[in-house]
Structures are given as C-alpha cells and as structure tokens.
C-alpha cells in the first residue's frame, strides 16, 4: 500500500525554530493569533512554525506543507451573529430565572462585547421594571436582552411582560419553555417590523427561541399562523402592515438549541439534536424562500473549552452558557449556593418537578449534592398524582409532609398561598375553592417556588431544601478549573469564565486543525488550563 507524501508549497523563514518535540509543540499551538505553518524536516518529520513569513521554496527555509491563518476567539461562530447584534464575541450568558441572571451579569457580558439575558422568569413586572432601570442606566449602547418565559397558568402575566418590554424598548428577548406559539411572543417578534424602500424588511425586535425539540423549532422557524396574526391585528396589538410582513418571515431568526442543561430540559445530547435542527432550518428556509439568515446557537453541557469547541465544530453560530454562570460572583444565587455548586461532580444532578408546570409533570434538572430538594419535590408529585385533594392526606402521612417538607402546617401554607394569589391572580384562588386537587397543587407549588428563593437568599435553616438548577456542565467545569485560579468560588467572575472558555476553544480548534494535517499533536494540547485573561 502506497503512502501519500504531501509536497511542499513554499518555505517558512523565521528567527525562531519550528516545533517538533512534544514540549515545543505545546508551547507553539496556543499562539492562535499568529499564522501557523506545517513544516517538514529532512527526515520527513512534521512540525509547526508560528509567525515568520512564507516565501518561495527555492529561497531557503523550512519546506511548508500547509498554512493556517490566524485564529481569533471572535471568529469561532457565525460572523453575522456579531454583526447583527453588535457584539465582539459569539458568546451568550443565558437567562437564569428568578433574577439569578442578574443585571450585574448582563452588564459584565456587555463590557466584553458579549450578550447577556436578564433572568426575568418568575419575577413580578414591578421587579423586572426595577432591574431594567438598572441595566438601561448603565449599559450605554451595548447589546443586551431579557427573558420571556411561557406562562400557561398565567397568560396575563406573559402579556404584561411583553407590554413592559415593548414600552421599555427591550430589543432582545430569550423566549423559553414554549411548546407552541402564543399571541404574546408573536406580538413581540413583529412589533416594529417595516419594509424599507429597497423591499427588505427591517425588524425592530430580535427574538431568541430556546428550543430542544424539532417540532417546536418548526413552529418558530415558520411564519405565524394566519388566524393568530389576524386576531392580533384586530385587537390592535399589531398594525396591518406588521401583520402583513409577518406572513413572510419566521417568528425568530436566532435559536438556542438546548441540550442537557440545568432547569427545564429534555436531556438531549447536543451532537444528536443540533444537526437535526440545522437540517430543519435549511429545509424551511428553502421552502419559505427566506433571504435572511437564521442563526442557530448551542447550549447545554458547555462547561469546558473542549465542549465549546465541539459546539462550534457542529456549526453553532454562538454558544450559550448557563450553569457555570450561576456559580459566578455576579449570579443572584447566594454565596452558600455558589459554594455548593463549586463542589458538584458530573453525576451530582437529578430531575425534579417544575414549579411553573407542576400539574403537567414537567421536570427541571437540579443539583442533587448537598440538598434534599429533588427527593422531596418528587414526593410531592407522587402525592398530587395519587390524591384528590389535601383532605386525603391524613395521619402520619400528613404529619411527615408538614414536618419534613413544608415545615409548617398545611393550613398555614395555604394561607400564605391564598394571600399571594389574591394579589397575583385571584382566579387561582377561586378555582382552588372549587377544585380540591388544584388547591393541593397550589400548596405544593408553594414549596417548589420557595425552594428556589431560599437558595437565592441563602436561608440557612432551609439549606436542605435549596432548589439550584444545575446541569452536568457544572461538574465538568469544576473538573476543568480544579487547581486553577477559577477553582475558588469567590474568583469565578463571569467575564473570566467566558474569556477562558472562548480562548480555550480557539486553542483546541487550532490543535485539531494541526492534527488533521498530520502533525503529531500531543494529547495535552487539548487541555487548556484557565488563566487570567483580558
């Protein structure tokens, strides 16, 4: 069998010597901002030269077999993503609910030319307004966004948040937990759409659709249903012109493909899910005659540079991180909660019932180590599924419920719940008085909702009940940062986390490029150690 021997295309000249040994290769591969030259010595060994210059083969120097241009972290994704959203890096910090993705986190991302979404889900419109005040007073002209979560039990709240965003000029929204389109999300997507003199359609608002299922992606990648648009126009929530233009565009042009993650997740594998969404994107773009690009980013499980590099190699326009930012000092999670996250291993996560979709059996992924929340929440759903109402939970079973989980009498929890909904949504109380099972659901949702707030506030006596959303990325992040300056919880700044993930992804991408050209790249080149960057 013959062996292919590449032919030199030129010669590399430099004051430096090329790298042939394992040690020298490990030193030269991270120099991604310089061109790299694959060279060959007289014995046929392949090595790498960085910097220098390429000249004619007959002018002397090292024979060059391949040339790689400079590689910057800014170039890892789809450049149109940065151009459309006025960003430097293809990096997004996700909108962790209940304000865990804080205004401070959004501002930290903006300082680095990255995109941060405020975690508005679970907060009242008044609280969201206050946080928007903070962001807009300090953000300047930088790009940023906020979350819009599907609220099937509170459609009025979903509408209130959309109205708030439109009134406050929030130009980027991350839409999460949607299984189908709602009038509210369609209203936000197309408000302000205009046709320019050259025929192109300009969109005022940018919707990021967070999806993990092809059938949901199809709904957002298609124009909205005509009947929904007609109803929005009739109600005065879209103009006739906005409704007409919406029939020619997808609901969203930016997508966050969420693999196995913290919070609401279908536990999908990114390598299985992402290519399917890309193919669907291409099919729908062709079928609908779209002339504008649809950008698809990757999320879930991205806790190391290798994972980020893998996402970009799949074709991700950008990457989005979540769990690792919850452990950052800018996070709204308490110091106690962040310390708990810093000790998590790869398997220290579990699925538990979700507060916002409890009755539907929807689950979220949470931290298992150091908390009993997952076990206790699962017990509440067992009771809900097998009982017609609180009146059927009696004797020792009721005593255990009050002692071990609620840590208060059922009547006291109901009093607090009733008082909450008298202000938030009185219809819930009216329904609870008619339907004992719904009353039971509201009482159990009290625990599920409070458990997240206890973790945010760091309530010491409820530590075993902390609900901390967490995916396996946290365990891989902790393993990667062990022994580095990012190991300590108090040193985990969101900016340094992001810069190291991107820098490491660029280095690993360069290592893979060189290996694909035949260079004997050391295995250690694929392990990027965190370092202070900036």
Residue 421: other Cβ atoms inside 10 A: 17
How close are the terminal C-alpha atoms of the chain, in Å? 51
Parts of the chain belonging to CATH 3.20.20.70: 75-333
pLDDT of residue 1: 45
The token pair at 128 is: 């969201």
- In angstroms, the Cα distances linking 200 to 84, 241, 296, 453 are 15, 14, 22, 46
Residues in the chain: 534
Closest CA to 36 of 525, 500, 480, 524: 525
Instruction: Report helix, strand or coil for 469.
Output: strand
Helix (H) or strand (E) run with residue 295 in it: strand 295-299
Instruction: Report helix, strand or coil for 374.
Output: helix
When pLDDT is averaged across residues 404-429 and rounded to a whole number, the result is: 95
- In angstroms, the Cα distances linking 5 to 40, 126, 399, 518 are 11, 69, 78, 11
Give phi and psi for 257, each to the nearest 5.
-85, 110
Confidence of residue 150 (pLDDT cuts 50, 70, 90): very high
234-251 confidence digits (pLDDT tens): 999 999 999 999 999 999
Looking at 3.20.20.70, 3.40.50.920, 3.20.20.60, 3.40.50.720, the CATH number of the domain 75-333 comes to 3.20.20.70
281-290 confidence digits (pLDDT tens): 999 999 999 9
When pLDDT is averaged across residues 271-280 and rounded to a whole number, the result is: 98
When pLDDT is averaged across residues 128-150 and rounded to a whole number, the result is: 97
Residue 321: other Cβ atoms inside 10 A: 27
482 Cβ partners below 8 Å, 6+ apart? none
How far apart, in whole angstroms, are the C-alpha atoms of residue 513 and residue 534? Answer: 25
How far apart, in whole angstroms, are the C-alpha atoms of residue 261 and residue 505? Answer: 20
How far apart, in whole angstroms, are the C-alpha atoms of residue 394 and residue 410? Answer: 11
Confidence of residue 342 (pLDDT cuts 50, 70, 90): very high
The token pair at 117 is: 């979404």
When pLDDT is averaged across residues 172-182 and rounded to a whole number, the result is: 96
For residue 3, pLDDT over 80 is answered with no
- Structure letter (DSSP) for residue 8: P
The pTM for the full model equals 0.94
The token pair at 23 is: 């040690």
- In angstroms, the Cα distances linking 85 to 113, 141, 415 are 10, 11, 47
Q: Chain-centre distance of CA 40, in angstroms? A: 43
When pLDDT is averaged across residues 138-161 and rounded to a whole number, the result is: 94
pLDDT of residue 210: 97
The token pair at 284 is: 């729908």
For residue 2, pLDDT over 60 is answered with no
50-72 confidence digits (pLDDT tens): 989 999 988 789 999 999 999 99
How far apart, in whole angstroms, are the C-alpha atoms of residue 136 and residue 251? Answer: 26
Give phi and psi for 325, each to the nearest 5.
-75, -25
Average per-residue pLDDT in the chain? 96
């Amino acid at each position: 069998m013959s062996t292919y021997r590449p032919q030199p295309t030129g010669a590399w000249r430099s004051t430096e010597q090329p790298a042939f040994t394992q040690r020298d290769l490990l030193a030269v591969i991270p120099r991604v901002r310089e061109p790299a030259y694959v060279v060959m010595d007289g014995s046929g060994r392949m090595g790498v030269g960085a910097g220098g210059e390429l000249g004619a083969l007959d002018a002397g120097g090292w024979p060059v077999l391949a040339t790689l241009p400079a590689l910057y972290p800014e170039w890892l994704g789809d450049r149109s993503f940065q151009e459309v959203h006025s960003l430097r890096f293809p990096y997004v910090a996700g909108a962790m609910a209940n304000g865990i993705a804080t205004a401070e986190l959004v501002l930290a991302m903006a300082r680095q030319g990255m995109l941060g979404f405020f975690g508005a889900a679970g907060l009242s419109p008044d609280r969201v307004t206050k946080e928007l005040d903070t962001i807009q007073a300090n953000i300047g002209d930088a790009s940023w966004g906020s979350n819009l979560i599907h609220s099937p039990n509170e459609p009025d709240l979903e509408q209130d948040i959309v109205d708030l965003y439109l009134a406050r000029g929030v130009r980027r929204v991350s839409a999460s937990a949607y299984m189908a389109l709602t009038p509210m999300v369609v209203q936000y997507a197309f408000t302000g759409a205009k046709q320019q003199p050259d025929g192109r359609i300009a969109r005022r608002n940018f919707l990021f659709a967070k999806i993990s299922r092809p059938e949901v992606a199809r709904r957002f990648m298609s124009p909205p249903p005509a009947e929904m648009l007609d109803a929005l126009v009739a109600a005065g929530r879209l103009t006739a012109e906005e409704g007409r233009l919406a029939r020619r565009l997808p609901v969203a042009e930016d997508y966050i493909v969420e693999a196995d993650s913290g919070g609401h997740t279908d536990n999908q594998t990114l390598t299985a899910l992402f290519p399917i969404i890309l193919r669907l994107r291409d099919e729908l773009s062709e079928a609908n005659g779209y002339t504008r690009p649809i950008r698809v980013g990757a999320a879930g499980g991205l806790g190391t540079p290798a994972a980020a590099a893998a996402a970009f190699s799949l074709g991700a326009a950008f990457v989005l991180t979540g769990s690792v930012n919850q452990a950052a000092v800018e996070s709204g999670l308490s110091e106690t909660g962040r310390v708990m996250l810093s000790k998590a291993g790869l398997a220290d996560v579990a699925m538990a019932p979700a507060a916002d979709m409890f009755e539907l059996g929807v689950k979220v992924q949470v931290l298992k180590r150091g908390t009993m929340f997952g076990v206790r929440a699962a017990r509440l759903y067992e009771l809900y599924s097998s009982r017609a109402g609180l009146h059927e939970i009696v004797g020792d079973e009721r005593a255990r419920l009050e002692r071990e989980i609620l840590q208060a009498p059922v009547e006291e929890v109901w009093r607090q719940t009733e008082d909450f909904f008298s202000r938030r949504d009185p219809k819930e109380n009216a329904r609870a008085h008619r339907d004992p099972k719904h009353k039971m659901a509201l009482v159990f949702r009290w625990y599920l909702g409070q458990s997240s707030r206890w973790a945010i506030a760091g309530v010491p006596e409820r530590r075993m009940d902390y609900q901390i959303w967490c995916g396996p990325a946290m365990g891989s992040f902790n393993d990667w940062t062990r022994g580095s300056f990012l190991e300590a919880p108090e040193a985990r700044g969101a900016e340094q986390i992001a810069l190291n993930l991107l820098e490491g992804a660029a280095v690993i991408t360069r290592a893979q490029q060189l290996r694909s050209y035949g260079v004997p790249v050391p295995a250690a080149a694929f392990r990027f150690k965190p370092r202070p960057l900036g």
